[in-house]
Structure 1
């Protein structure tokens, strides 16, 4: 199994190699189960073993060893020599008068510098190169289209010429036939006249022969000859046929049309660094939050749908959009002063602020809130993606051969839409800027489908590192690709599961720590994994049939529970 694209294997204790990892020694970088902690510490009591929970691994600083005193750790830093130093080095005359700093302070400064440079790479430089690559691809596509249009125009012009030439050829041939027939008729008339004269001459010759052979003198005197008339021969008719004088074709290319010259120019200042993209990572890194040992339910809201609650989407920390088994999308408030306090205690209904009915009057496939705070939804009945502005529904995208399924809004304001083909044999993710298609994600590097199941139960979200995360219920996996659409890993669950049922991922969301959270319908829980696909923890909190998920800016988790139509708000980070 490829470790780069697989992250679901259970981690085992490095000592006993059987029990599941629960602890970690930050000193030795060893993963341990609780039973093996004592054995590990006793194997080398000369070390100061820092054993912490696995989730808090690498939280204890490991000081570098001193180059001059191998058994001592360097806790200070000589700014003049630019090296870590230990207490013995400081006591010696080697660094006398040098400015010294605590090494953790230097580490923090370097971390801040690295983080700032990483932020610049993530938020400015890399997106700029992505835009440049996208621009080049768009130019290539446009060039393909323009040259295709040019070839089509030349072909059409040639066809027009062929039609005109065919017409001209037919016209000339008709004129030839007409002139031929006229001249043949004239010659035929002349031939008829000659044949008539020849018949008359033959008759006169025959009459002379009869007279000469007869002894009847009167016959001889009765002969009338027209020799004088016959001596006057008829006019000779000589037809002059038409001649075709073709024009020379050396200049045909000029008459047909010519191509203008093309060029490629290079502009040194054609691209500028991207500074407008705002993602959750822009600026400083978020504060580190630890997972709670026991997540807690903050409140529960009955959404009032008749049969099922499917989707939730955070408009703010206090307002949540929901959609269920009917045509209505509802906006609930979860914080309405003292009334909210009473409702929170008794887990009563939330406060309904507004309702929006879909344009098709059918159940929406999915809902999301855009970067600008507008509600957007997919409608697989009329194959549209719509946005609600000022209570008016505007159609943003209309598909022809695909059904839009699930949707999310990205940090850059784009929309990511999961869609299935007409025959439900293909599934892909398409990125839109407004109604313009910018990117299609469908295959891996070997041209295998990334989402082979064509399951209608798929959800999508974008992580803080701009990874695109898709939960595929049919494939029983969470599929994560980077911003360019390259496969990073597949997560297929964790063992043991709370109910020992097969992993069935549905709703998916992320938080400020780049954790990926996905609802596991079969096991009535939510999985938390890190951005590299490593399992961290479960959230159950008495969940029942969890479906849709979302998080607010304070990293509170909202869970849509299918059958009981209740939405839970859960605190799971410190």
Structure 2
């Protein structure tokens, strides 16, 4: 091939490359550039929409709070009016009586100074009706009792963000990449969890269930018929006996701070109101075991059949049965019939079930499981991956568990009757 032919061939190759670049490749890059500009505009628009939506939600919540406050203010005004009317009525009666007494005093003084003996002889005492001192009101002024703010519950009521997904299309094939879920970033765990305090309880051990009312107040039940509310100093703030006298099988604290307990032998779920117990749900042919109050306000109840051959989980809304579950997503029974059963709602709204002994979840959607035999707590993520063990805290036969608002673990011990508060996040 001579130099001229080589030049011709090269020019043809150059022309082909130029043609491909101008007619095919470059237009695709221009289109991609335009798409990216459009996506940037969409991203900016969507970000503003997300911000506006959250602002609207904030205003909606504030509006609800304002409505609640206005309602409470109306209650205050009504109570003030009733109180003022009662005080005014009593004050008017007393002032009227005072006027009468003054007149009687004046009349008696006149009698003492009169020379008319007949008037004196006809005198009849009129002070009997004044001897009874006016009754006074015993007033108990109303107080405002605020619930402790629970950040997790507020977050669930406020709403959540769905995960960002980004697709990369390559030669007609689509590969999907998921960005990190918009949930609280994973908190690092302590290499060696630290015991914060040992909290003694009354009785001789046998503590089975625990549920946090606040960060400072915890409901505990054991192997008797008493439900006890403790503070972190081990002081009993309230004690309530079950209505039937039976040992409660499980407990749960609702979003509003009420305590529920399951009475297995009585086939009932009961509400503790102050020191009084009110039946909430009565079962027919089934006996309740574990309870879970969900973030939506529903109640989940594990229950066994009378012959202890079947187990199911029932969801209640306002004490009305809404859903019944016998099998898991693989078609297997949720539980083996009989004996101990527990369940808990995770932050991602999964329902976690476990046998045996205690189970709870924390703000990171991690699941904590009490290992009674090995005296430790297993920590797994929402997908079932083992993350950590909580041990070296002197645990003895751990059973009931709950976490407070900052993810400190409160765990009860069957043998010692103690409750331990443990820090396991950094």
Cα distance, 1:455 vs. partner?
Answer: 3.4
1:297 corresponding residue in structure 2: 195
Q: Deviations over 1:273-293 (max 9, x none)?
A: xxx997278357435421111
TM-score normalised according to structure 1 size: 0.44
1:282 corresponding residue in structure 2: 159
Q: Secondary structure at the match of 1:279?
A: helix
2:142 corresponding residue in structure 1: none
2:8 corresponding residue in structure 1: none
Q: Secondary structure at the match of 1:363?
A: coil
Q: What is the Cα-based RMSD across aligned positions, in Å?
A: 3.1
1:460 corresponding residue in structure 2: 343
2:371 counterpart (516, 520, 524): 520
Q: Secondary structure at the match of 2:211?
A: strand
User: Any conservation in 2 of the 1:306–1:325 contact (CA below 8 Å)?
Assistant: no
Cα distance in structure 2, aligned partners of 1:414 and 1:394:
18
Cα distance, 1:302 vs. partner?
Answer: 1.2
Q: Deviations over 1:397-442 (max 9, x none)?
A: 1111111001010001111100011111111111111220011111
Cα distance in structure 1, aligned partners of 2:275 and 2:263:
17
1:554 counterpart (393, 403, 406): 406
1:530 corresponding residue in structure 2: 381
Cα distance, 1:454 vs. partner?
Answer: 1.2
2:222 counterpart (321, 324, 336): 324
Cα distance in structure 1, aligned partners of 2:156 and 2:247:
31
Q: Secondary structure at the match of 1:544?
A: coil
Cα distance in structure 1, aligned partners of 2:407 and 2:157:
13
User: Any conservation in 1 of the 2:240–2:276 contact (CA below 8 Å)?
Assistant: no
Bigger strand fraction = 2
Q: Deviations over 1:435-484 (max 9, x none)?
A: 20011111245643222x113211111001111111123xxxxxxxxxxx
Cα distance in structure 2, aligned partners of 1:560 and 1:572:
16
1:573 corresponding residue in structure 2: 425
Cα distance in structure 1, aligned partners of 2:349 and 2:290:
18
Q: Secondary structure at the match of 2:156?
A: coil
Q: Deviations over 1:97-152 (max 9, x none)?
A: x9xx9xxxxxxx99x96xx79x99xx9xxxxxxxxxxxxxxxxxxxxxxxxxxxxx
User: Any conservation in 1 of the 2:200–2:417 contact (CA below 8 Å)?
Assistant: yes
Q: Which has the larger radius of gyration?
A: 1
**Alignment gaps of 5+ in structure 1:** 1-79, 84-97, 102-108, 124-275, 335-339, 341-349, 474-505
2:265 corresponding residue in structure 1: 381
User: Any conservation in 1 of the 2:205–2:418 contact (CA below 8 Å)?
Assistant: no
2:415 corresponding residue in structure 1: 563
User: Any conservation in 2 of the 1:520–1:526 contact (CA below 8 Å)?
Assistant: yes
Corresponding pairs, count: 269
Q: Deviations over 1:343-362 (max 9, x none)?
A: xxxxxxx1211111100112
Q: Secondary structure at the match of 1:361?
A: coil
Which runs of structure 2 are paired with 1:111-126 in the superposition (5 Å)?
Answer: none
